[in-house]
Amino acid sequence: MKFGFVGTGAMVSAIVRGAAAAGFNASDFVLSNRTPQDAKALADEVGATTARSNGSLAHQVDVLVLGVKPAVQPGVIEQIAHIVRERPEMCVVSLAAGRTLDAILEDFGACVPLVRVMPNVAAQIGQSMSALCSVGAADDQVAAVRRLMDAVGRTVVIDEKLFPVFQSLASCSPAWLFQVIDSLARAGVKHGLPKDIAVRVVAQAMAGSASLVLAASEEGRVPAQLIDQVCSPGGTTIAGLLAAEEGGLSASLVGAVDASIHADSHLG
């Protein structure tokens, strides 16, 4: 199966590199970019090929990934729409945040096999959380897109109406978690740890905790059960946890999700 990538920015580059590292045959990747030397540099790095135009790419591939910015996407679709309409066996993938399936199909002027994907910034290190939804795509086409995105993290398939909450939990939350790490590190500085050491300590604790949650979830256990394991009666952890709750930790995090979803609805 051949994958084509229109645009070679940070997200597409992360996906291409991650997929190649995960065992995809990079010779099955075709790249195009408005700056051809950028496409060539990435292609040379992983062993992919380049196309002389977006139209040429659309003629060659089975899965066409639109990795351009949302404002640019309609113009790119205009270049390839007639080719895509003539190739119903080809699946189109959109990485453009905020562009709905209906809006993209309107640009194509027909119902084409389409998968919308929302990855997050951690794709750069192979730890993305990506959501997928589709319209008109066959099960094997959706599965192929999911395998591609699994190469740079984890995936879920959800209804498009849930994309705003997914965006909040997966795409917005890294900024909030960075703030949590920095705040805890500053507390460490307050009590004598150098900032760089405090940051590493907190970041590793958070990474390990997240891995424990993922492992526990596969066994049917929830985070609250892990909290109970860590909190000894009358101990330091429960004292800190209750202080955090008294300060509004849970309410603040729920409020952050509410605010980001509210902002998204206004932008839409």
153 by DSSP, 3-state: which? strand
Q: Which pLDDT band, with edges at 50, 70 and 90, does 84 fall under?
A: very high
Does pLDDT of 268 surpass 60?
Answer: no
120 annotated binding-site participant: no
pLDDT at 72: 96
Question: Which pLDDT tens digit goes with each residue over 215-235?
Answer: 999 999 999 999 999 999 999
Q: Average pLDDT over the chain, rounded to whole?
A: 95
Instruction: Return the ∠ at Cα 235 (arms to 233 and 239), rounded to 5°.
Output: 105
Report the share of the chain in percent with pLDDT over 70. 99
- Whole-number Å distance between alpha carbons of 148 and 67: 14
- Whole-number Å distance between alpha carbons of 43 and 30: 8
Nearest Cα neighbor of 36 from 57, 18, 15, 52 is 52
Instruction: Classify the phi-psi angles of 233: left when phi > 0, otherwise alpha if psi is within -120 to 50, otherwise beta.
Output: beta
Which domains occur in the chain, in start order?
3-158 (3.40.50.720), 167-265 (1.10.3730.10)
- Whole-number Å distance between alpha carbons of 50 and 36: 8
Question: Which pLDDT tens digit goes with each residue over 247-265?
Answer: 999 999 999 999 999 887 6
pLDDT at 121: 85
Question: Which pLDDT tens digit goes with each residue over 39-50?
Answer: 999 999 999 999
Query: Is residue 21 within 8 Å of 126, Cβ to Cβ?
Result: yes
